[in-house]
Structure 1
Amino acid sequence: MAPPVPGATAWRLEIHDELGSTSDCCIAQAGVGAEAGLAIMARRQTSGRGSRGRDWQDPGGNLAFSVLLRPIKAEGAVGLWPFVAGLAFHGAILPWIRDPAQLRLKWPNDLLLGGRKTAGILIESGSDAIGRWLVIGFGANLRAAPSIAGRTLACVADYGTAPDPAVVARAICVELDRWQAVWRSDGFGSLRAAWLERAHPLGTRLVVRGESGQVEGSFVGLDEQGMLLLDCADGLKRISTGEILLLDRDATGGSGRAGT
């Protein structure tokens, strides 16, 4: 086990050469009463998973990292944690990017480089005799992007310097403490403002795919609950879930088309 990460949370970072899933390991530990602050990283992950049931492929040298949190009830709904996690992830990756404007957040849980997905977050929750827990999984293409049919992905190495995954894992822990403190002291409004500063620009054309079909419109912000605000041909829509595709403009405000 690596030394603890300093900060408000008693982080306990474990680094493994290979695991099936870092999130599965955290969930298993939560099930036997592990306390908040458990952080598990694998230098190679063989059974990683992403959002909407997708596999998260790991060619090696990338980040596979999960943390266990037991949030206090007053901290807010699970639905606001993607913003804490996204801001923490952005802050941990940003120092390694040559042009900071290339790194953008995409609602609700992705990071883009040059308009292409480079990292994602998966949040899972449960409860036990101790109380409710969250496991937040962070996956990032640091050294290489996997080849996936129909998708064009990016990696940090193409836009800067690929750091050691353990350095990024430790930075995420520090940033999670930072943004949790902002949330508790200033409320979600401060998180929303910070998130919007780091997100794809207002006016970006988006398509949202959901179980009932898809809608297209212009991104106009987030509401007070973190829902996506989309200006569509038939009026303003609030989106609570869905797969997001960026159209017409990439995440840095240039021309062209970006995928998920």
Structure 2
Amino acid sequence: MMREVAGLPHLRVRALAEVGSTNVLAMEAARAGDPGGLWILGGRQVEGRGRRARPWVSEPGNLYASYLVLDPASGDRLAQLPLVAALALSEAVDEMCGTYALAKLKWPNDLLVDGAKISGILLEATSLPNGSRAVVMGFGLNLVHHPDLADYRAADLAGLGYQVDVGQAFAALAGSLERRLVSWNGEAGGDRLMADWQARATGLGKAIRVRFDSGETHGIFEGLDEIGRLRLRLEDGTLTSVSAGDVFFGNGS
């Protein structure tokens, strides 16, 4: 069912009571010839996934939404999209809750409130037969409940004292993401993105661990490089850039 969002009548939104995965449906739409600019909104998600195919608990009451965009950028700039997504969701949370920087950003795209994770973001991309590149940006936001996670503490907005319904949350996210994509694609958009992301970052200048499939490394988090990778100062003073991994602070959050 297509629905209209108050204040954003131009949006194309396919809303379903239950889905397997909003990301999967958005990617299927791309392969079927959708021109992009499509939102898939699920009331309940029974096959949700996080990074590295980790399952994500997706019971009713939280926000589950995926956005399909075609050819959003070229080359190295695609690596910045997780930062765009996280910053847009963080700003949307402020709009929902009437706050400023309530949710801090943990590289690359986690949102933390008092060290607890309140969201999941998963970006997936594929090349289409016509040569276009389809990118799906999947968002999960804990509004009224949260999962028990093995490696992280989690929280939800209701438990933090903020009452937000799914419709309100989606409208805030859709508007915020639209503004962020326009800004990112504008003049000096990448520089503005890096500055705005780092202004909301947690752990800057502090010791962190970065876990990979093959092991882990540690050092001082020194911000982002020009394409959005994490800059890590190693014990020997070397400055290296990390393109993928799970970040942990001293408290394990």
- In structure 1, list runs of 5 or more residues that go unmatched: 248-256
**TM-score normalised by structure 2 residue count:** 0.90
Residue 181 (structure 1) aligned with residue 182 (structure 2)? yes
The 8 Å contact of residues 15 and 42 in structure 1, kept in 2 or not, is answered as yes
Change (3 A) 1:198 1:32: same
Q: Deviations over 1:158-203 (max 9, x none)?
A: 2231311222222222112211121122231110000001110422
Match of 2:103 in 1: 103
Match of 1:2 in 2: 3
- Partner-residue secondary structure (3-state), 2:19: coil
Alignment partner of 2:248 out of 240, 245, 249: 245
- Partner-residue secondary structure (3-state), 1:14: strand
For 2:151 and 2:240, the matched residues in 1 are separated by 28
> Greater CA deviation, 28-37 or 75-84?
75-84
Report the AA paired with residue 134 of structure 2.
Answer: W
Residue 86 (structure 1) aligned with residue 86 (structure 2)? yes
Change (3 A) 1:187 1:227: same
- Partner-residue secondary structure (3-state), 1:2: strand
The 8 Å contact of residues 49 and 56 in structure 1, kept in 2 or not, is answered as yes
- What's the C-alpha RMSD, in Å, of the aligned pairs? 2.1
Residue 163 (structure 1) aligned with residue 164 (structure 2)? yes
Change (3 A) 1:73 1:149: closer
Report the AA paired with residue 89 of structure 2.
Answer: F
- Partner-residue secondary structure (3-state), 2:126: strand
Runs (4 or more) in structure 1 with deviation over 6 Å come to none
Match of 2:229 in 1: 227
For 2:31 and 2:47, the matched residues in 1 are separated by 20
For 1:81 and 1:150, the matched residues in 2 are separated by 25
Report the AA paired with residue 181 of structure 1.
Answer: V
Change (3 A) 1:101 1:33: closer
The 8 Å contact of residues 96 and 156 in structure 1, kept in 2 or not, is answered as no
For 1:11 and 1:129, the matched residues in 2 are separated by 26
- Partner-residue secondary structure (3-state), 1:158: coil
Change (3 A) 1:237 1:75: closer
Report the AA paired with residue 91 of structure 2.
Answer: G
For 1:241 and 1:94, the matched residues in 2 are separated by 27
The 8 Å contact of residues 96 and 169 in structure 2, kept in 1 or not, is answered as no
- Partner-residue secondary structure (3-state), 2:111: strand
For 1:5 and 1:204, the matched residues in 2 are separated by 42
> Greater CA deviation, 162-171 or 15-24?
162-171
Match of 1:251 in 2: none
Count of matched residue positions in the alignment of Structure 1 and Structure 2: 249
- Partner-residue secondary structure (3-state), 1:156: coil
* Mapping of residues 57-206 of structure 1, within 5 Å: 57-74=57-74, 77-97=77-97, 100-130=100-130, 131-149=132-150, 151-185=152-186, 186-206=188-208
Residue 28 (structure 1) aligned with residue 28 (structure 2)? yes
Deviation of 1:141 after TM superposition, in Å, equals 1.0
Percent identity over paired residues = 36
Higher strand share: 2
The 8 Å contact of residues 41 and 166 in structure 1, kept in 2 or not, is answered as no
- In structure 2, list runs of 5 or more residues that go unmatched: none
**TM-score normalised by structure 1 residue count:** 0.88
Q: Deviations over 1:100-148 (max 9, x none)?
A: 4541011111111111111121000112244111001001111011223
The 8 Å contact of residues 98 and 159 in structure 1, kept in 2 or not, is answered as no
